[in-house]
């Protein structure tokens, strides 16, 4: 049976918690027919903990085996005896030793040998703890009975000291990442100002064993000229360090001057900007750091630079709608350098992904994508206020039509053929002034690929057009305005051999040719003569073709605004 499901998987839909949820949340208007991708809706931040387990279970022991009793006890920060959460893994085999909870004690039995012991002591209810303490012993030698008490009152508080005295913690994560018998096993505790995080320093080991601490801090939103936000990351290899207060030196940070643009409609509330930290050579569960931002608005965001890469998502909030944009690739920074970043950057228009496998060809457009390469804007994929259709042709013959412009699924032969995919769309939505209409077609050759067509997708030729727009997606009228024009394609695809651009200032009634000046492979500069009299918007009509038979023609009504 074929699986009909969403093709676009969000990388960070669970704000401030440790692991992104790999599924799109329901759109506010209910289910979208045809399996179209819906923008992910974040949930409020909260405390969390996760204790990873081995996939290998210890074999049953014979009667009379020379096993030793393992007894683990816990005491929370209030002095109350509690059963800790714990995982005990044999370093030689990777097998996990079963532990049984009884009252405030965990017990188990293990043969002589060396083990990894990881534990968490919770203060408060398990579903709403007030404090979490992380314990790790990378090499617990068992040569007799073990009776160990984890007293959270003796654990050190985990915290970061940033450059700004006015910045306060938003939330934080501490994580142990280790490899045992080829398995990566993680343990994570996550908190916020009212949920304390603690840990005990550990002995050192030379095997893969990493302690990661990350913390998000922010100055008050009213800080002028703009608040400073800090994404701080502190990796330690081989142990939980002895010092658990981490200081972020200004020289080790990179500044990203961040603009949160709107789609012509200001946000009605602050939305989360989520960033995922990726530590070079350490592949634990994703650690997300969040702060709130309004659009239009600006912030000065500082990132730990060396040894850490980052990827972000921003959820611009207009009423019940989360206008979600994501970076599709990790970004690295140089310590001491200054960068700039714009979210929701015009011009807006469609991009298209297709998957071809298991007898199906799938089409999943993003209707209101931005002009930036390496971004995916999911805002256009709410169904309310949107009508249109997708039509597929194979070798010139119509395969079928979807009355849902957000998704199309068709049964097609596996053999290579020339396809054409047409998209028409009209919409009127309260949260965006742009992309009120699309008439587009993509030409491409495709044969069935192995694997899951929902996951093994590829982009067709995609125009990416942007420029020096203001934070509402507008350009000045009565002047000539430069645009950066590019075409995004498959990495191993052919270069574009022809391209043209037209502009309209009356929603497509009349058109003017816009000359393109080559700026290198698949890149041009366009200079658009904006008239003084106009309807407040610019429509764009772009055509391109490459040397392998791929092509794109698209007309976008209200691709950007004029002021």
74 half-sphere exposure, CB direction, 13 A CA radius: 27
pLDDT band with cut points at 50, 70 and 90 for residue 15? very low
Q: What is the pLDDT of residue 379?
A: 81
Q: What is the pLDDT of residue 63?
A: 67
When divided into structural domains, the chain yields a total of 1
Residue 190 lies in a domain: yes
Copy the structure tokens of residue 510. Answer: 């009349």
The rounded percent of the chain whose pLDDT value lies above 90 is 82
Q: What is the pLDDT of residue 65?
A: 75
d(CA 394, CA 442): 12
Tokens 């071809």 correspond to 356
* Residue 43 in this model has a pLDDT that exceeds 70: no
| End-to-end alpha carbon distance in the chain | 53
Copy the structure tokens of residue 80. Answer: 């109350």
* Residue 281 in this model has a pLDDT that exceeds 80: no
Residue 96 lies in a domain: yes
- pLDDT tens for each residue of 338-376: 999 999 999 999 999 999 999 999 999 999 999 998 899
250 to 247, 322, 521: CA distances (angstroms): 9, 33, 39
> Closest Cα partner for 347 from 90, 112, 554?
554
98 to 44, 59, 102, 146, 149: CA distances (angstroms): 35, 10, 13, 15, 18
| Separate counts of helices (H) and strands (E) for the chain | 0, 45
Q: What is the pLDDT of residue 434?
A: 97
Mean residue pLDDT of the chain comes to 90
Residue 495 lies in a domain: no
Copy the structure tokens of residue 375. Answer: 């971004």
d(CA 13, CA 10): 6
d(CA 526, CA 481): 8
* DSSP string covering 374-390: TEEE-GGG--TTEEEEE
> Closest Cα partner for 540 from 436, 449, 444?
436
pLDDT band with cut points at 50, 70 and 90 for residue 23? very low
> Closest Cα partner for 548 from 485, 489, 462?
489
Report the largest interatomic distance among the alpha carbons of the chain, rounded to a whole angstrom: 94
pLDDT band with cut points at 50, 70 and 90 for residue 64? low
pLDDT band with cut points at 50, 70 and 90 for residue 47? low
Residue 479 lies in a domain: no
* Residue 16 in this model has a pLDDT that exceeds 50: no
Please state the rounded mean pLDDT for residues 189-193: 94
d(CA 337, CA 497): 37
d(CA 386, CA 364): 15
Q: What are phi and psi of 10, to 5 degrees?
A: -80, 140
Copy the structure tokens of residue 281. Answer: 């050579």
Parent domain of 148: 45-223+240-248
477 half-sphere exposure, CB direction, 13 A CA radius: 14
- pLDDT tens for each residue of 407-458: 999 999 999 999 999 999 999 999 999 999 999 999 999 999 998 998 878 8
Tokens 């393109």 correspond to 516
Which residues are registered as beta bridge partners of 195?
192
In this structure, are strands 105-110 and 81-82 parallel, antiparallel, or unpaired? unpaired
Tokens 């068992």 correspond to 142
- pLDDT tens for each residue of 456-515: 788 899 999 999 999 999 999 999 999 999 999 887 789 999 999 999 999 999 999 999
Residue 114 lies in a domain: yes
Q: Output the CA angle 549-555-560, nearest 5 degrees.
A: 130
Q: Output the CA angle 418-424-428, nearest 5 degrees.
A: 155
d(CA 148, CA 264): 60
Q: What is the pLDDT of residue 9?
A: 26
Residue 393 lies in a domain: no
Q: What is the pLDDT of residue 285?
A: 77
Please state the rounded mean pLDDT for residues 272-283: 89
Residue 350 lies in a domain: no
Could you tell me how many residues make up the chain? 563
Residue 33 lies in a domain: no
Which residue would you say has higher pLDDT here, 378 or 45? 378
Please state the rounded mean pLDDT for residues 96-124: 96
Which residue would you say has higher pLDDT here, 61 or 119? 119
């Amino acid at each position: 049976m074929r699986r009909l499901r969403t093709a676009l998987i969000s990388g960070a839909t669970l704000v401030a918690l440790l692991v992104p949820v790999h599924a799109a949340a329901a759109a506010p208007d209910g289910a979208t027919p045809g399996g179209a991708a819906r923008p992910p809706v974040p949930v409020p931040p909260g405390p969390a903990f996760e204790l990873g387990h081995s996939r290998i279970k210890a074999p049953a022991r014979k009667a009379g085996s020379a096993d030793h009793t393992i007894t683990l006890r816990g005491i929370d920060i209030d002095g109350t005896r509690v059963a800790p959460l714990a995982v005990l893994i044999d370093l030689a085999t990777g097998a996990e030793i079963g532990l049984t909870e009884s009252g405030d004690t965990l017990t188990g039995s293990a043969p002589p040998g060396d083990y990894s012991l990881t534990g968490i002591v919770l203060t408060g209810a398990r579903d709403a703890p007030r404090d979490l303490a992380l314990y790790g012993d990378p090499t617990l030698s068992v040569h007799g009975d073990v009776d160990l008490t984890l007293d959270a009152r003796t654990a050190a508080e985990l915290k970061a000291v940033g450059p700004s005295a006015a910045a306060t913690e938003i939330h934080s994560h501490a994580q142990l990442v280790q490899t045992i018998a080829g398995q990566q096993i993680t343990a994570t505790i996550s908190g916020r100002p009212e949920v304390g995080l603690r840990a005990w320093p550990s002995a050192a080991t030379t095997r893969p064993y990493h302690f990661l601490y990350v913390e998000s801090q922010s100055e008050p939103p009213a800080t002028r000229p703009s608040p400073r936000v800090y994404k701080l990351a502190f990796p330690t290899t081989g142990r939980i360090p002895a010092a658990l207060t981490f200081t972020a030196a200004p020289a080790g940070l990179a500044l990203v001057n961040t603009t949160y643009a709107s789609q012509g409609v200001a946000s009605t509330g602050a939305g989360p900007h989520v960033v995922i930290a990726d530590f070079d050579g350490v592949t634990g569960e994703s650690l997300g750091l969040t702060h709130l931002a309004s659009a239009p608005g600006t912030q000065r965001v500082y990132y730990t630079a060396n040894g850490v890469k980052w990827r972000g998502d921003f959820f611009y909030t207009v009423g019940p709608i989360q206008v979600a944009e994501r970076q599709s690739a990790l970004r690295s920074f140089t310590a001491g350098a200054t960068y700039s970043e714009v979210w929701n950057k015009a011009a807006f228009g469609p991009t298209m992904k297709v998957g071809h496998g298991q007898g199906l060809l799938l089409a999943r457009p993003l209707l209101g994508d931005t002009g930036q390469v390496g971004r995916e804007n999911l805002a256009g994929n709410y169904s309310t206020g949107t009508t249109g259709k997708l039509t597929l042709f194979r070798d010139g013959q119509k395969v079928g039509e979807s009355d849902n412009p957000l998704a199309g699924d068709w049964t097609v032969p596996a053999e290579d053929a020339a396809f054409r995919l047409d998209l028409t769309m009209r919409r009127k939505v309260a949260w965006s002034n742009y992309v009120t209409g699309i008439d587009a077609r993509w030409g491409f050759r495709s044969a069935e690929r192995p694997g899951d067509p929902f996951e093994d997708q590829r982009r067709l030729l995609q125009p990416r057009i942007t420029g020096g727009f203001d934070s509402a997606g507008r350009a000045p009228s009565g002047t000539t305005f430069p645009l950066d024009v590019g075409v995004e394609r498959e990495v191993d695809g052919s270069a574009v051999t022809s391209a043209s651009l037209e502009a309209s200032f009356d929603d497509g009634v009349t058109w003017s040719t816009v000359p393109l000046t080559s700026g290198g492979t698949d890149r041009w500069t366009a200079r658009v003569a904006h008239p003084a009299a106009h309807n407040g918007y610019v429509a764009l009509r772009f055509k391109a073709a490459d040397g392998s038979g791929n092509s794109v023609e698209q007309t976008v009504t209200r691709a950007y605004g004029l002021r």
